[in-house]
Amino acid sequence: MAKLIDGKMIAGKVMEEVAEGSRRLVAQYGEEARPNMTLVLVGSDPVSKKLVDLKAKDCEKTGITPTVIALSETTSEEKLLRLVDRLNSDEDVKAILCQLPVPEHISTKKLLAAIAPEKDVDGFSARIDSDDYDIAACTPAAVMRMLKESGVEVAGKHCVVVGRDNMVGKPMAIQLLLNDATVTVCHSKTAELAEHTRRADVLIVAVQKPRFVTGDMVKEGAVVIDVGMNYIDGHPVGDVDFDSVEPKASMITPVPGGVGPMTRAGLLVNALKLAERKTK
């Protein structure tokens, strides 16, 4: 039976560390140094709204001051970009988050590119051509922390990432490389996918396809990290078929309660780092 990697429990530990960091910052530099986060929500999608509420509550619990700006579904791209511009130049704003997805008439690419890297709390600016991985993309950073907390050393191991998207797969591969893993990245054009996944010591799956990776695609004793979050009949389901993979894996993340809570905690870690940078 595989050991479950408990994202909720590790996220609790990370949040305590962030709360302590916020307290330290305020004690040392005064109330002005307190971390803050401006969360921008466009439209009324209930899942996005719930996520923004949860993120704002997480901020409150960890000594980070949240400000939520809710805009109507019909907000134009131009108006949204102007707002981001204003937040970029507002000295009091230390971290900016734009909740995705945004309505179709707004370009996600343009929006994310508009956020100043020194305020990008999601860590999307930490691109391949940047050496600045201190503010890392939250999901890959969450996965690295979960592996570390579980005693999994990736150096010298063969790690296979399924998915090459800019928000998860690509930055995940870089994080693994920076930690001395040997990395294979698979995608929709990969031939003989299972040949690759079966060679993984650590298998990380982010494809947005429910229960896509099955037991026959996994090596005996592999560590399996399921980044996927899909909904079937309102229930959260990962990209890994837990029932067939769990008996073969040595460790596995559940969905829900795995990578999800850790990604949210990663935001708080980044918000604290951005506030700390302002004091230097």
- Bridge partners of 38, per DSSP, are 67, 96
Question: Encoding tokens for residue 78?
Answer: 């131009």
Residue 104 CB: number of other CB atoms within 10 A?
A: 7
Q: Does 172 bind ligand NAP (CB under 6 A)?
A: no
Q: Binder to ligand NAP among 36, 179, 182, 230 (CB under 6 A)?
A: 230
Q: Does 197 bind ligand NAP (CB under 6 A)?
A: no
Question: Encoding tokens for residue 65?
Answer: 């001051």
Q: Are 97 and 267 in contact (CB under 8 A)?
A: yes
Residue 30 CB: number of other CB atoms within 10 A?
A: 10
Q: Are 242 and 2 in contact (CB under 8 A)?
A: no
For ligand NAP, which is the closer residue by CB, 259 or 272? Answer: 259
Q: Does 263 bind ligand NAP (CB under 6 A)?
A: yes
For ligand NAP, which is the closer residue by CB, 102 or 162? Answer: 162
Q: Does 18 bind ligand NAP (CB under 6 A)?
A: no
Q: Binder to ligand NAP among 186, 200, 224, 268 (CB under 6 A)?
A: 186
Look at the block and give the residue holding tokens 């940078």.
277
Q: Does 58 bind ligand NAP (CB under 6 A)?
A: no
122 is catalytic: yes
Q: Does 228 bind ligand NAP (CB under 6 A)?
A: yes
How far apart are alpha carbons 121 and 226 in whole angstroms? 23
Q: Does 173 bind ligand NAP (CB under 6 A)?
A: no
Shortest Å distance, C-beta 26 to ligand NAP: 29
Phi, psi of 66 (to 5 degrees): -90, 145
Q: Are 96 and 40 in contact (CB under 8 A)?
A: yes
Q: Binder to ligand NAP among 136, 168, 172, 240 (CB under 6 A)?
A: 168
Query: Rg for the chain (alpha carbons), in Å?
Result: 19
Binding span for ligand NAP by CB under 6 A among 111-119, 151-159, 160-168, 215-223: 160-168
55 is catalytic: yes
How far apart are alpha carbons 95 and 77 in whole angstroms? 20
28 is catalytic: no
List of residues contacting ligand NAP (CB under 6 A): 139, 162-165, 167-169, 186-190, 193, 206-209, 227-230, 239, 259-260, 263
Residues taking part in catalysis = 55, 99, 122
